[in-house]
């Protein structure tokens, strides 16, 4: 029995040594290409609360009050993310001509819409947040001192492209 097990183990090790490890794909800049960030169906709450925690850390560091996740703003953000994918362009107007203010009002949000950040990427939510923080106009939305509520959602296409939408309200 030990002889058969040893023979099996040697064969398995030999086959393993013959297999190649997959090398990362290299882009034109010589750096490894990023892997597609796949969002699973059960990740919604985790991603939204990670975003709120990260935004609140940035806001606290800037001397602004924390924001709370709003289901109405989430609904407006999700609707717009799907609509941007349908239009295949990142912009602030809906395929029906709606503005962010219109979508927030339709969602039933009772406060004032203060700003909207959007993105089309293959990046994670935190990489997207970092990119928004690098641009003054999108950073101003995140750090708006009048903001009390946040909505954050996305739509991911089968190819992995993600359409992110963040709404701030007060």
Q: What is the pTM of this model?
A: 0.79
Q: What is the pLDDT along the chain (170 residues), one digit of tens a residue?
A: 445 444 443 444 444 444 444 566 777 888 776 677 888 888 998 999 999 999 999 999 999 999 999 999 999 999 999 999 999 999 999 999 999 999 999 999 999 999 999 999 989 999 999 999 999 999 999 999 999 999 999 999 999 999 999 999 99
Give 88: exposed, middle or buried? Use CB within 10 Å, 0-12, 13-18, 19+: exposed
Residue 28's pLDDT is 82
């Amino acid at each position: 029995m030990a002889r058969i097990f040893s023979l099996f183990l040697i064969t398995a090790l030999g086959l393993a040594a013959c297999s190649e490890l997959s090398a990362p794909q290299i882009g034109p800049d010589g750096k490894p290409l990023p892997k597609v960030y796949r969002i699973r169906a059960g990740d919604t709450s985790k991603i939204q609360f990670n975003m709120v925690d990260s935004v609140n850390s940035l806001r606290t560091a800037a001397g602004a009050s924390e924001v709370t996740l709003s289901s109405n703003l989430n609904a407006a953000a999700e609707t717009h993310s799907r609509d941007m994918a349908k239009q295949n362009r990142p912009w602030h107007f809906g395929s029906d001509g709606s503005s962010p203010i219109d979508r927030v009002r339709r969602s039933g949000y009772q406060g004032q819409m203060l700003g909207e950040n959007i993105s089309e990427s293959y990046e994670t939510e935190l990489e997207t947040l970092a990119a928004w923080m690098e641009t003054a106009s999108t950073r101003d939305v995140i750090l708006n001192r009048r903001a009390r509520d946040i909505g954050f959602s996305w739509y991911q296409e089968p190819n992995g492209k993600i359409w992110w939408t963040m709404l701030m309200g007060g």
